[in-house]
Structure 1
Amino acid sequence: MTVETRSSARVHRAWFVAAAAFVALLAAAGFRAAPSVLIDPLHEEFGWSRATIGAAVSVNLVLYGVFAPFAAALMERFGIRRVAATALFVVALGAGGTVFMNTSWELILCWGVLVGAGTGSMAMSFAATVTTRWFVRHRGAVTGVLTAAGSTGQLVFLPVVAALAVGDGWRTASLVIALAALAVVPVVLLVVRDHPADVGATAFGSPAGSPAGTEPVRPVAEGGSARRALAVLFQAARTRSFWLLAVGFAICGATTNGLVGTHFIPAAHDHGMPQTTAAGLLALVGVFDVVGTIASGWLTDRVDPRLLLGVYYALRGVSLALLPQLLANSVQPSMWAFILFYGLDWVATVPPTVTLCVRSFGEAGPIVFGWVFACHQLGAAFAASAAGAVRDRLGDYALAWYVAAGLAVIAAVASVSITRSGKPAPAFAR
């Protein structure tokens, strides 16, 4: 009996690996969802300014982005299972460590460095590595589901963290997140394997008759992955398309994770809305985010991705310009409309951006997207700190919303300005 026959007689191991990866990504998303809920409690207890707390968030976001291009290199050298388990342990260490902190530098170390590095090691590269090694058929669908795990984590954790922070204190909320991350470590160690060949199998959907489909072979990892990532960056940075993509995605990060993801809850609380209510609204963004990402992927196959990005960013700018008038002490129908739209638009930018990276840079496209995603997180980090400084100086967030709206228009112009070339994508030296 061949491996493929045995695999078809039961549920393929790839689905268990994907499920464990989803749970791991969901757990890692937990503490990344916490900052917006804990800003006010930390400000009240320690007297730290929102700009100081925002700086810790900024470090978190920067490391989350910078680690992404190199995560695959770590997994090639040490294996998916070891890297994922270690990353979850580091997230738990950072979350649990905040319970004992007394100074702002400890907040930056725990909340920024440890959690940023841990979650960065389990960013999009983790999902891409799992799906590439374990799936041939349904690879795109599984990648979409794993990418959505972050939004699902936000949905699951935000209301829980908010309720714990209000009812039992922010330390209890931090400990729950740390325990949740630790609880997933055994799941990863027991279920996840680095390659199908480790369990005598092949990737799900490997065509019968091909070498990969008839004999389980463990791929030999190529050396120099980190060097390859840097070489691609240097070559891509010489092109106009890279910088237009990078500028657009940096603004995307600034207007999502950096601004709304970090400051929506304290901004709503400034207008008298309970933190738990605001957290519930932000969690709904995660629900609609999943729908918007899937729909955007479908549209990307049928519509010029440059135009899609232009429309997404332009509409996002309009919604941000209207937000200061929508915030109130209770949830009005107009706020429901904002949450619905912003959720659908939140990660809808990812499929067309990935498509443009591949179209412009060929086989190096995924690596280029890793660097473009790093720009996304740099934009998010800047917005997280800048919005906090605006709130400290002016007493409200209005200016931050208006500036973000203007930046979104710039992103729309940059996106539609990307050259649509019929020439083959450049071959990048290895």
Structure 2
Amino acid sequence: MMIKAKGVHNEWHHWWVAASGFIILLIEGGIRPMLVVYFSSFQEDLNWSKSTFSTIIAVINMASLLSGPLAAALYQIFDARLSISAGALITASGFTFASLSSSIVVVIVISVAIGVGCGVIRTAIVSVQCEYFVKNRDFVMALIFIGPGIGQFLAARILNHLNNLLSWRASWRIIALIFLCSAPLVFPIKRRIKKGEHNQMAQFLGVQILKVPEFLTHLTAVFLAASLCISYYLFEIPVMVERGIDRDTAASVFSSQGIASIVGRIATTLLIRSDRMHLGGLILLSYIVAQFSIFSAVYCTNVPHFLTHNILSGFGIGMYSVSLTPFLLSISGPEQLPAAFGYTNLINGVAGFVAMFIGKLADRFGVLLAFGVASKLGALSIVSCIITVGIIMWNDRKQRMHQPVATQEASESV
């Protein structure tokens, strides 16, 4: 009876860790993308241009992605509790100090720290889930990524209310307090995977995962897909305006992708739970739905077209967000997951520079032509994903072919 009670206690402890991960990702993944609501407040208080404010937001988001390998290394050196607590403290301090400054240079430097703190939090809380779950690992990995979808839905409304009620400075101090809540949430996390004995420097840098062919083709697919997705977020409303739709209606239509993303996350989580579909097939399906839906914008001409396009795009993006980490886990294994997740985030950040180039094309040749160029990158990402899944399927087939031989040899040796 004592053993059974201990097992139940451990199981509840594991789900407590998963719940903490859900809430932490809800905070980080909800607030960071929704900081755009403060544009008018920055403009009124500091007289900053739209491009200056956009630079601040871009720096925060790109730093959170480009810091992926660093965040993975910190997770390898320290445990998840220390990494997340440090990330929360850095992020909260960044929002606090930014609220006290009026200097563009100072705020940009602080924005780098905010982004790095967010990246450290995200990488550590995702990676540590493997240590607590084996049987339900893929399901839990998918489940916690519903958090950012719900977080963005809530943050868009809460931050907008705070922005209308208070100054942006006071509002950012409240955001700092919210991020500090991540520190006590990591209290139940008490262990981590032990380091391997081989090549500590290679493990620190996570370079072993870069020797896996399917991971390299995955990074190629991520780079191409992210280039289109970032362009989608940047140019979707301008494309609708160029088609003759007023800006308020365009913003309302665009918001439909947020709701669809939550539905896509929940549906994909349930599909992973059912274990009826190979993770490679699931990630490929998410690419097809998201990328085809996104670049269909160039063929949309009216509100119903754009509404359908945004709903399908949001659903596909939600599918991808949830299926990515279980897919990475199937490629890398638990020990290499932090590095795999970190390098994937790094490539997402690098894709931001491509989106900047697409933006230059939009300024020179028009939004529709620029979006058309980005759409070709999305099509190539599907091809790269097909190659990745093909390699995985081939490796699985070879393992199944050799497994009976290995079993027979083992029985003969006994």
Considering the TM-score relative to the shorter chain, is it more than 0.5?
Answer: yes
CA deviation profile, 1:190-249 (whole Å, cap 9, x unmatched): x32322xxxxxxxxxxxxxxxxxxxxxx86545766632536358527x4x444221211
1:374 is aligned to 345
Question: Cα gap change, 1:283/1:354 in structure 2, threshold over 3 Å: closer, same or farther?
Answer: closer
| Count of aligned pairs between the two proteins | 391
Is 1:118 the counterpart of 2:117 in the alignment? yes
Q: 1:246 aligns with which of 210, 219, 240?
A: 219
Alpha-carbon separation, structure 2, partners of 1:308 and 1:16: 27
Q: 1:323 aligns with which of 276, 282, 297?
A: 297
1:31/1:115 contact within 8 Å kept: no
Quote how far apart the aligned CAs of 1:141 are: 1.8
Structure 2: any 5+ residue segments left out of the alignment? 401-414
Question: Cα gap change, 1:243/1:79 in structure 2, threshold over 3 Å: closer, same or farther?
Answer: closer
1:227 is aligned to 202
Moved more, 381-390 or 284-293: 381-390
Moved more, 267-276 or 393-402: 267-276
Higher helix share: 2
Amino acid at match of 1:18: A
Question: Cα gap change, 1:140/1:359 in structure 2, threshold over 3 Å: closer, same or farther?
Answer: closer
Alpha-carbon separation, structure 2, partners of 1:353 and 1:181: 25
2:308 is aligned to 337
Secondary structure, in 3 states, of the residue corresponding to 1:348? Answer: helix
CA deviation profile, 1:278-299 (whole Å, cap 9, x unmatched): 7853532441341354266479
Which structure 2 residues correspond to residues 64-213 of structure 1 after superposition, within 5 A? 64-111=64-111, 113-129=112-128, 131-165=129-163, 168=166, 170-188=168-186, 191-195=187-191
2:146/2:262 contact within 8 Å kept: no
1:37/1:265 contact within 8 Å kept: no
Alpha-carbon separation, structure 2, partners of 1:268 and 1:166: 27
Alpha-carbon separation, structure 1, partners of 2:27 and 2:201: 27
Quote how far apart the aligned CAs of 1:117 are: 0.8
Alpha-carbon separation, structure 1, partners of 2:40 and 2:235: 10
Alpha-carbon separation, structure 2, partners of 1:266 and 1:165: 24
Normalised TM-score (structure 2):
0.76
Amino acid at match of 1:337: T
Secondary structure, in 3 states, of the residue corresponding to 2:67? Answer: helix
How high is the sequence identity, in percent, across the aligned residues? 18
Q: Cα RMSD between the aligned structures?
A: 4.1
CA deviation profile, 1:64-105 (whole Å, cap 9, x unmatched): 234334435423433222221221122222223332333332
Question: Cα gap change, 1:28/1:301 in structure 2, threshold over 3 Å: closer, same or farther?
Answer: same
Secondary structure, in 3 states, of the residue corresponding to 1:417? Answer: helix
Alpha-carbon separation, structure 2, partners of 1:390 and 1:398: 10
Amino acid at match of 2:113: L
1:316/1:342 contact within 8 Å kept: yes
Amino acid at match of 1:26: L
Is 1:412 the counterpart of 2:386 in the alignment? no
Quote how far apart the aligned CAs of 1:347 are: 4.2
Q: 1:287 aligns with which of 262, 277, 289?
A: 262
2:28/2:179 contact within 8 Å kept: yes
